[in-house]
Every structure is written in C-alpha cells, then in structure tokens.
Amino acid sequence: MSDNEMVQLKYTVIPDDYNAVGSASSDAKNKLRMVGVPPDILRKVSICMYEGEINMVIHARGGEITVNINPTNIQMILRDNGPGIADINKAMQAGFSTASEDARNLGFGAGMGLPNMKKFSDDMSVETKLGVGTTVTMVVNL
C-alpha cells in the first residue's frame, strides 16, 4: 500500500456491543503501521483514538471517526451526536467523570479519558454543544 492510496480512514462507532469497542482504533493502528508510521507515534495515536472511541460509546451512543494521514501529522476527528459536555474545564480534570457503572466495569470511566487524550496528542480541541453533540479533534505530529 503506498501513501497515496490511503490518506483518510473513516469509521462508524456503534455502541451496541461493548466487546467490540476499540475495533476502529485497532483497524486504524494496523493500517497506519502498514504505511510505516513509527511505533512510538503509532502508540500515541492509538491511545488517543481508543480513549476517544471509548468515550463515544459510554457517553454518546457512538459516532463517526475520521483519520487523516497528512505529510507531517496524523489528525483524528471524532464526532458524535451525544448529549454534549456541560463543563469542558471540569471534564478535562483528571478524575472527573460522569460515566455509568457499565463504563467503570469496562475499566474506564475514571475521569482519565480526556486528560489522556490531551497528554498523548500534540494538539487537541473540543467543540461541544449541549443536546447537539461533541467533536474532538486531535493531532499527533509525525
């Protein structure tokens, strides 16, 4: 596969099967590895996307993920039509969570998702509107 053939990946995240959560991140990781993204960058992208994917399932009934492979970075756009984030500053604090017991049973929902995404991405922005949805855009530099 040459770089030219794959510049964008698109995924639909469906919240029905908790066991399947992470399949988009897994697929993206394999494809990015195939086009030669170095392991340390790949891990950062994987952590960001997987935390985001988990968030989409536990907070927002799923959504869409677009991964753009650019010459100098990997950009991930995670868009959902969930409830939106009421207080983004609070949501960015490590340990703050509104997650359900189900999410906690998965090993998540401890208020580390957004902080982890910020920690492992080189740039992150969150656009959110109550009752409309949330779009998280993350960039990891190559």
Partner 1 sequence: MEETYMTIATVAELLNARILTGEAHSGLEVTSAFACDLMSDVLAYANGYKLLLSGLCNAQVIRTAEMLDMNCIIFVRGKCPDEQMIKMAASNDMVVLRTDYSMFTSSGILYQAGIKGGQM
Residues that bind partner 1 (CB under 8 A): 18-22, 25-26, 29, 39, 43, 46-47, 50-51, 54, 105-108, 110, 112-113, 115-116, 119
What is the smallest separation between the CB atom of 136 and partner 1, expressed in angstroms? 16
Of the two residues 7 and 38, which places its CB atom closer to partner 1 in the complex?
A: 38
| Residues forming beta bridges with residue 133, ordered by sequence position | 129
What is the smallest separation between the CB atom of 117 and partner 1, expressed in angstroms? 10
Of the two residues 81 and 111, which places its CB atom closer to partner 1 in the complex?
A: 111
Residues 15, 67: Cα–Cα separation, whole Å: 19
Residues 120, 20: Cα–Cα separation, whole Å: 23
What is the smallest separation between the CB atom of 5 and partner 1, expressed in angstroms? 24
Alpha helices in the chain (DSSP H): 23-34, 39-60, 88-91, 101-105, 113-120
Of the two residues 77 and 112, which places its CB atom closer to partner 1 in the complex?
A: 112
Of the two residues 21 and 85, which places its CB atom closer to partner 1 in the complex?
A: 21
What is the smallest separation between the CB atom of 54 and partner 1, expressed in angstroms? 8
Q: How many CB atoms lie within 10 A of CB 14?
A: 15
What is the smallest separation between the CB atom of 108 and partner 1, expressed in angstroms? 5
Of the two residues 46 and 134, which places its CB atom closer to partner 1 in the complex?
A: 46
Of 91, 109, 107, 89, the closest CA to residue 99 belongs to 109
Instruction: Give the relative orientation of helices 39-60 and 23-34 as an angle to the nearest 10 degrees.
Output: 160
